[in-house]
Chains A and B, each alone.
Chain A
């Protein structure tokens, strides 16, 4: 009987083999870069299990460009964007989920347009707007188009729709106003969604490149991604040890965070995608 659960050991071994071959291929580029980043340049492209480990490449990369400043810029940017999104998307999602007013459905459809057409697609027009407002080459200018998000509103609206109305009514009878109800009833119940959304957005904005590239042109405003691209293209010769060290360094915090909180990360991405 070729039952589903009892596939033969041969099939199973074959499946395991293919799965792991794919897994190794998936790890290879990153593993190769990590190898190069932590070994002396002499071993950059030649393997020897006994090769000495070193932090020298990281140190050289750190001093070769103002990475400390880039890290600071990225952190400010991510905090600003994700913080603003949590507040603004919460307010808007609540209005869409629990209020009835004329034009609500049309307005919601208009909001969803941003799911398709991200601000960087409209870079030419948005650059002109940011320039007219005087925010070119500022961190605020980089953050501005992303301070609210259709994706966030969509997710939180779904979450809020699932909150029983009785809870809201009880809170109202207890004397809570609209913001009180939102803060005491809806936000706590949607906490897993906030975590999921937050993780996805942190990694998205830590990694965002095109819009910051357009808006920034100085060390004081460049986030890590733009800084890394400038660093890798500017006269490094082809010192792969230092370039890979810089690359690993800039993705390090997210990578370590991911390895430590793998379950939460994966579940967050699942949650953010499915609902």
Chain B
């Protein structure tokens, strides 16, 4: 009734699992015609499962090796290394207990970088997520020229952060940059946006928002397009205002996307430092230094890798906490739906 493959001669390389698989398949096809012994079928099934699980591990092997080498083992070794001194040419690493951590707590630059990083996160995340939502609503709203608008909002996303940094460095240039030229029209004077301690971090944050808002917009846009149009029609019949519709229908439906975007935004706030290399180098006087940038400087400029691992532990703790929060809130989200 079914075209069966030639018995015992599978076309693929004769892996054990492959043979058992075809055997199982034939058994189940045959079972439809005449009932086979229950025990024999179970045995075949058990054998097939063992073979399949070996196959699964083979498929996973390359990825597992890479993950272990570059994610899981490094997490453990970072923790271990943070209790050891930095190896020197004539003096290998030795156990120093909490000494790296004591240095860290006494390091004013660490505290500065940590505080900056939180200011950076708190300043950029609400703004870029809020703007992303606004952009998505605009673009979703069939305004004139929406394709062009969408392009304008999204373009920064495809640019390398290094290029973005150069572009904004130029944009910020005192008196020559577009910003100061515009300011001059309104009677403003030359400002060293990146060179002054009071404005540098803020100037960096603007760049981050510019780069990220269009990226987050895409996720909102995708979610908005999945809201069924009948909801809008029903609201129109009820005479709901646009604002009410947004507050009572759109915003709650967007909640899972907002959560997804927020998690990504937090990760990015601790991970994206490329523009700091170009625009300020962490200065002036560490005004724009953040955690990962500080780790880079300690680990790869001063080559104090023991201390750098202790700093990395702080970053890992922050991201671990985020993972925990996400895990807990993700459970809640399922509940609401």
Q: Which of B70-78, B101-109, B110-118 contacts A (4 or more CB under 8 A)?
A: B70-78
Bound CA–CA A94/B17 (angstroms)? 16
Residues of B near any A CB (own CB < 8 A): 2-5, 10-13, 15, 17-18, 21-22, 25, 29, 49, 52-53, 55-57, 59-60, 62-64, 66-67, 69-75, 77-78, 81, 131, 134-135, 138-139, 141, 143-145, 147-163, 166-168, 170-171, 173, 176-178, 181, 210, 214-215, 218-219, 221-223, 232, 235-236, 239-242, 245, 257, 260, 267, 270-271, 273-274, 277-278, 292, 295-296, 299-300, 305, 308-309, 312, 315-316, 319-320, 322-323
Bound CA–CA A178/B158 (angstroms)? 37
Question: Quick one: given A26-B214, A99-B53, are A89 and B11 in contact (CB under 8 Å)?
Answer: no
Chain B residues near A161 (CB-CB < 8 A)? none
The dominant DSSP class at the B interface is: helix
Bound CA–CA A152/B334 (angstroms)? 24
Chain A residues near B151 (CB-CB < 8 A)? 259, 262
Q: Report yes or no: A110 in contact with B72, Cβ–Cβ below 8 A.
A: yes
Interface centre among A24, A36, A150, A178 (most CB of B within 10 A): A178
Chain B residues near A16 (CB-CB < 8 A)? 143-144
Question: What is the CB-to-nearest-CB distance from B166 to chain A, in angstroms, rounded to a whole number?
Answer: 4
The dominant DSSP class at the A interface is: helix
Question: Quick one: given A99-B53, A121-B292, A121-B312, are A209 and B274 in contact (CB under 8 Å)?
Answer: yes
Q: How many residues does chain A have at the interface if contact means C-beta atoms less than 8 Å apart?
A: 106
Given contacts A19-B135, A94-B59, A248-B163, 10 further A-B contacts (CB under 8 A): A19-B143, A26-B153, A95-B55, A122-B70, A122-B312, A124-B309, A125-B78, A127-B299, A172-B21, A209-B162
Bound CA–CA A153/B60 (angstroms)? 10
Q: Report yes or no: A145 in contact with B70, Cβ–Cβ below 8 A.
A: yes
Using an 8 Å CB-CB cutoff, how does the interface string of A79-112 with B read, 1 for contact, 0 for none? 0000000001101101110011110100100110
Question: Quick one: given A7-B242, A26-B153, A173-B25, are A121 and B316 in contact (CB under 8 Å)?
Answer: yes
Bound CA–CA A116/B67 (angstroms)? 13
Chain A residues near B221 (CB-CB < 8 A)? 266, 270
Using an 8 Å CB-CB cutoff, how does the interface string of A210-235 with B read, 1 for contact, 0 for none? 10011000000000110011001100
Bound CA–CA A174/B21 (angstroms)? 12
Q: Report yes or no: B138 in contact with A19, Cβ–Cβ below 8 A.
A: yes
A244 at the interface (CB under 8 A from B): yes
Question: What is the CB-to-nearest-CB distance from A177 to chain B, in angstroms, rounded to a whole number?
Answer: 3
Q: Report yes or no: B155 in contact with A27, Cβ–Cβ below 8 A.
A: yes
